[in-house]
Structure 1
Amino acid sequence: MENHAGSSIGIVILVVMATCSYLIHERRKLQHIKQKYFKQHGGLLLFQEMSSNQGTSFTVFSEAELQQATNNFDKNQILGHGGHGTVYKGLVKSNTEVAVKRCLIMDEQQKKEFGKEMLILSQINHVNIVKLLGCCLEVQVPMLVYEFIPNGTLSNLIHNNHGQQISLVTRLRIAHESAEALAYLHSYASPPIIHGDVKSSNILLDVNLTAKVSDFGASILAPIDKSQLVTLVQGTWGYLDPEYMQTCQLTDKSDVYSFGVVLVELLTRKNVFNLDAPEHEKSLSMRFLSAMKENKLEDILDDQISKNEGMEFLGEVADLAKQCLAMSGDNRPSMKEVAEKLDRLIKVMQHPWAQQNPEEMENLLGESSYIISSGVESTGNFSIEKKAIKGLESGR
């Protein structure tokens, strides 16, 4: 009897030991897999660069931390879906609200570039770009952690509540802030970054309706060799640069075209693509360009601004959108030029002189429109606006 009891205890001990050994093995195996993914996604490069750049504020989260932050990725925490992943609202240990993006499967080339792009985005600090706070690299497909922006997207503001009054100045301010963000990416980031998916649903708004450009899932580093091609055209239908669709070459001017579509959205509050419309009216950009060509701009403008704002200002913004939508990228302005133009227009609109001297203002803007429509050379593009601002500053 004692021998039987002893043998039973021995078997139990062996089972427990085998189970523990198995669990330890599986844990080590899981840890090895996590380390593999970490290295694969550029974790070592990230830490090397961050150790030499103490000013970078960036956190590498564990999978467990992000699971806890999002209530195990509860569907009720979903903020939205995109072509490159699902975004969840989360709350990290410091009681900071964040947006956690679980990316979709990436191919090998994308995995190679991921660490470098993530490092660059982690160092971008611009008031109109959603801040990348951290990442999780110990999973097969990496997760990104962004600052949480509470007021939804520009698309929601434009399309989901037509009863809400949005002044032209507010629309132009949002456009200007977005243009400043893209200009920063194109002209001041090193190396330059092409967003690749500029659209109203990728422009977030904070509590003060300040614009925050987001979603860099389609972004690329500007190719050093201009012959480098993107083999798979990606982006969003209705915003895609027609030149990019033909050449598969993504450039900063591709972002300019997409921004032009956003500008038309702000002017018209119409959807960028309408399958139910007649063939020639399915695309908002084509419909807009047709209205401009036939001098029927008022027919396509949002009633809120066409009735309450001067057509001279609306014509200026429309001319700028038209430039951005030029079929050839060479004929489009840079985002820096677009941002400068919008800034000047806002200053003119908000100055009391513009209301006190409407006829002279209309003459100035009318001359400017002629110059704009005759070319996009940076040397002469905005000479009239500069003259107007100079007049405002001198108090005339």
Structure 2
Amino acid sequence: MPKAKDRMKVVSIHLAAAVVAVLLLLAAKRTPAIAVPSPQCQWQCGGVDIAFPFGIGDNCSLSAGFNLSCQEVQSGVYRPFQGNIEVLNISLINGTVRELNPVSTYCYDSSSGSMESSTWYFDASGTPYRFSDVQNKFTVIGCQTLAYITDNTDKSYQSGCVSTCQNVSDLTDGSCSGMGCCQTNIPKKMGFYNVSFDPASDTSQISRLGLGSCSYAVLMEAEEFSFSTTYITNTTAFNDTNSGRVPVVMDWAIRDDGAPSCELATRNETGTYACRSGNSKCVESPNGPGYLCNCSGGYEGNPYLPDGCHDVDECKKNSPCPSVGGVCHNTVGAYRCSCRAGRRLNKQNNTCDPDTTLITGVTIGFLVLVIFSSFGYMILQKRKLNQVKQDHFRQHGGMILFERMRSENGLAFTVFSEAELVKATDSYDKSRIIGKGGHGTVYKGIVKGNVPIAIKRCALIDDRQKKEFGQEMLILSQINHKNIVKLEGCCLEVEVPMLVYEFVPNGTLYELIHGKNQALQIPFSTLLRIAHEAAEGLSFLHSYASPPIIHGDVKSANILLDGNYMAKVSDFGASILAPSDKEQYVTMVQGTCGYLDPEYMQTCQLTEKSDVYSFGVILLEVLTGQEPLKLDGPETQRSLSSKFLSAMKENNLDVILPSHVNGGQGSNELIRGLAELAKQCLDMCGCNRPSMKEVADELGRLRKLSLHPWVQIDAEMIESQSLLSGTTTASFEIEVGTTGYPTQEAENLPMNPRSSYYAR
């Protein structure tokens, strides 16, 4: 060991920044403080805000001791420096500056067999800066290490810290209590410190045990340090982690010789009082002589600048007023709390308590007001109700539509009151619902004279639904045809408008064809008649209504059947008046899948031929007894129209016809004629389809064909066989209610008192 100590070399590297700081201080003593920084000053460097009294550039800082520089540390990267010390951040409120402080090292050099030290001292004495005794600690890292810290060359203050360790297992991450790491506090007012290692701290033998060959000592910010065992086992781990520099916190203050305290500074005898803002105050430095400036209570900003402190809006931050019922009012430099009406501020508890006096007075006044206004309220309420009804009537277009119906058509049309319809439906009882759909809900009602009616109540009340309601009322008010459902009247004085139809009791053509009741059968000739009557109704809409009307949602579910099973076309919620402009398009395609015209879906242009296509699908339902669209099965078999057209193309119609649709020569001719008509209606090009009038005429011809003598004989034979056997092969299913009653029609069809398809 003595030889090793003889070979020990101690290298002491002194921080040049300390000399620079002293020179700046001497310059500051000879230079009067500036009043206002220059507008050309730089107030940010490398992401660090530089606030006055600090500054970068000439005439930018309060004094030379606060001068900083912005230096390029690598290509394109700049950092603020105080002399040669890098500045991390500046706090005006706390009076601190965080800087990077070099680490002193004491290492065993195996090549030379001697100890080499690299120690630093930091001289800030005589400057505005002091080492923070609160946030800094003298930290020593190593095994068998003793390091000293002194405040000056006279060693008026000297302290040390010992760190020992024998095994790696003795060390604990995060613990700095003497095993591998040691920390000690420093006193106040330190402006200088020097680091030295005890020569007895020889790590030559420790390094051979794998415990590292270096020791470290530095004054640093304690909060930023966490001990790691790698600092002992790895020779350069601590320096590599921190790049040889660690944060240290400096307390700064205005420390001019002429004003070392607030008492002297506020006398303003030297003319260098730094608290320039009118709303600022002087605060004694917590670390040595000098003072700081803070904004007065209720203000924030920079107190070192004229008008630098501005009012704080306490109400925008966490309101200091009571959270329940309290109201915060910002004032200049302060705030004021009040309570909402009916409460009184309790300053002791900072709460808003009920104001019993005010509550009592308000209650009495309210009771008097209620007594005197009750009679007037009853009168006004009645007037208001009448006004609301009138507003609804006008909103739903009642005046315009009613006058138009009276002047143009002269139709018998009833405007029902809300009370009449409420009574007719037992206050819209659920048992009275006979149909629901996308356009509304339908109720069965009984009015004076025991007359049944169907009341359609719109399901929605948005603009689109109101438009559809007005559209349907306008269309139906212009139509008087036996094969179109009759509009008896309407009710417009309610928020949700209502239409009143004739009551059609026997369901729909859809139910007649696809119903689940297997007990009753219907002849094919009856279905042909119903289809003919529906075609007559649509033909009337297209050819005789003025202007022509396009239904827009033709389907078997919208063909109602009255007491005699006569067809009645219904549901005009998707209908439009035929436009005079051929280029008019709809903004949204409406209709039912399986019935929609492909040309309509492609062009968004609804025409009379769109109704013809949909009616062609109905003819297929009559012919085949199948539904227009099936979601199960092969994709090519899902669409009835596609399947039918494919069969017609292959001249194999029998493939989709039910086995019972067969007969003699006349029957085959009838089926072929009906199939050919359906094929023409389903033509992909609308211009090639027949008109609805031509369809109705052709159905009339086919009905006459069904009455040809040999055809009739054939049909009677089939029907007679069915009556004898109890079954039939030339029939379709219908659904009949328990209260159905017979009619005088030749087909002897059953009656169905339920009808639930007005709203489809």
Shared fold by TM > 0.5?
A: yes
Partner of 2:391: 36
Tell me, in whole angstroms, the C-alpha distance in 2 between the residues paired with 1:38 and 1:312.
Answer: 55
Q: Which amino acid aligns with 1:351?
A: H
Q: Partners of 1:337 and 1:152 in 2: how far apart?
A: 27
Q: Which residue of 2 aligns with 1:193?
A: 549
Q: Tell me the residue number matched to 1:126.
A: 481
**Distance in 2 of aligned mates of 1:51 and 1:175:** 33
Range moving further from structure 2, 33-42 or 347-356: 347-356
Match among 295, 320, 326 for residue 683 of structure 2: 326
**Structure 1 counterpart of 2:447, from 88, 92, 98:** 92
SS of aligned partner of 1:303: coil
Instruction: Report the structure, 1 or 2, having the larger helix content.
Output: 1
| Residue 267 in structure 1 maps to residue 623 in structure 2 | yes
Structure 1 position 122, deviation (Å): 1.8
Q: Give the alignment partner of residue 606 of structure 2, picking from 247, 250, 253.
A: 250
In structure 1, C-alpha distance between the alignment counterparts of 2:409 and 2:678, rounded to whole Å: 41
Structure 2 counterpart of 1:102, from 453, 457, 466: 457
Query: CA–CA distance in 2 between the matches of 1:317 and 1:235?
Result: 24
Cα distance in 2 for residues equivalent to 1:274 and 1:207: 31
Q: Which has the larger radius of gyration?
A: 2
1:295 to 636, 643, 651: 651
Does the CA contact (< 8 Å) of 2:483 and 2:536 recur in 1?
Answer: yes
1:64 to 398, 419, 425: 419
> What's the secondary structure of 2:660's corresponding residue?
helix
Q: 1:302 to 1:207 in 2, by over 3 A?
A: farther
Moved over 6 A (4+): 10-13
Distance of 1:280 and 1:190 partners within structure 2: 41
Deviates more, 1:102-111 or 1:248-257: 102-111
Change (3 A) 1:355 1:173: closer
Q: Which has the higher contact order (CA 8 A, sep 6+)?
A: 1
Q: Say which SS state the counterpart of residue 669 (structure 2) adopts.
A: helix
Distance in 2 (CA, whole Å) between partners of 1:225 and 1:110 is 25
CA distance in 2, matches of 1:162, 1:301: 19
Code of the residue aligned with 1:225 in structure 2: it is D
Give 1:339's match in structure 2, choosing from 671, 681, 696.
Answer: 696
Could you say which residue in structure 1 is the equivalent of 2:571? 215
Partner residue in 2 for 1:168: 524
C-alpha deviation, 1:170, in angstroms: 1.1
Aligned to 2:373: 18
1:147 aligned to 496, 502, 507, which one? 502
CA 1:356 to 1:21, structure 2 compared with 1: closer, same or farther past 3 Å? closer
SS in 2 for 1:208: coil
2:633 is aligned, of 259, 270, 277, to 277
Give the aligned residue type for 1:177. E
Matched letter for residue 70 of structure 1: T
Aligned residues: 351
Q: Distance in 1 between matches of 2:468 and 2:514?
A: 35
For the structure 1 residues 51 and 156, does the alpha-carbon distance in structure 2 shift closer, same or farther, using more than 3 Å as the test?
Answer: closer
- Looking at secondary structure, tell me which structure has more strand per residue: 2
Between the aligned partners of 1:54 and 1:180, the Cα distance in structure 2 is 21
**Greater mean alpha carbon deviation, residues 81-90 or residues 106-115:** 106-115
CA distance in 1: counterparts of 2:707 and 2:503, whole angstroms: 31
* Aligned residue number for residue 673 of structure 2: 316
Residues 368-383 of structure 1 mapped to structure 2, 5 A cutoff: none
Q: Supply the distance in 2 between the matched residues of 1:17 and 1:283 (Cα, whole angstroms).
A: 72
> Using the alignment, how far apart are the partners of 2:687 and 2:609 within structure 1?
8
Q: What is the CA distance between 1:18 and its match in structure 2? A: 3.1
1:136 aligned onto 2:494: no
Letter in 1 for 2:686: G
Cα offset, 1:96, TM superposition? 1.2
Which SS does the other structure have where 2:436 is aligned? strand
- In structure 2, what is the equivalent of residue 181 of structure 1? 537
Residues 42, 116 of structure 1: 8 Å contact kept? no
Residue correspondence of structure 1 range 353-392 to structure 2 within 5 A: none
SS in structure 2 at match of 1:212:
strand
CA distance in 2, matches of 1:245, 1:254: 10
* Distance verdict in 2 for CA 1:110–1:86, change over 3 Å: closer
Q: Give 3-state SS (helix, strand or coil) of 2:522's partner.
A: coil
- For residues 303 and 205 of structure 1, the distance between their equivalents in structure 2, rounded to whole angstroms, comes to 27
SS at match of 2:591: coil
For residues 362-395 of structure 1, the C-alpha deviation after alignment (integer angstroms, 9 at most, x for no partner) is xxxxxxxxxxxxxxxxxxxxxxxxxxxxxxxxxx
Matched residue of 1:25: which SS? helix
Instruction: Give 1:170's aligned amino acid.
Output: T
Counterpart position of 1:47 = 402
Per-residue CA deviations over 1:6-47 (Å, capped at 9, x if unaligned) read xxxx99786455344334434433332321221122211133
- What whole-Å deviation, never above 9, does each CA across 1:327-374 have from its counterpart, x for those lacking one? 1111111000000000011112103265689xxxxxxxxxxxxxxxxx
Q: Distance in 1 between matches of 2:384 and 2:555?
A: 42
Q: Structure 1 pair 126/15, CA: closer, same or farther in 2 (3 Å)?
A: same
Whole-angstrom distance in 1 between the partners of 2:377 and 2:659 = 70
Tell me the equivalent position of 1:348.
705
Give the AA of the match of 1:126.
Answer: H
Question: Cα RMSD between the aligned structures?
Answer: 2.7
TM-score, normalised relative to structure 1: 0.81
SS in 2 for 1:89: strand
Alpha-carbon contact 1:197-1:255 (below 8 Å) kept? yes
Deviation (angstroms), 1:287: 1.4
Identity of matched residues, % = 64
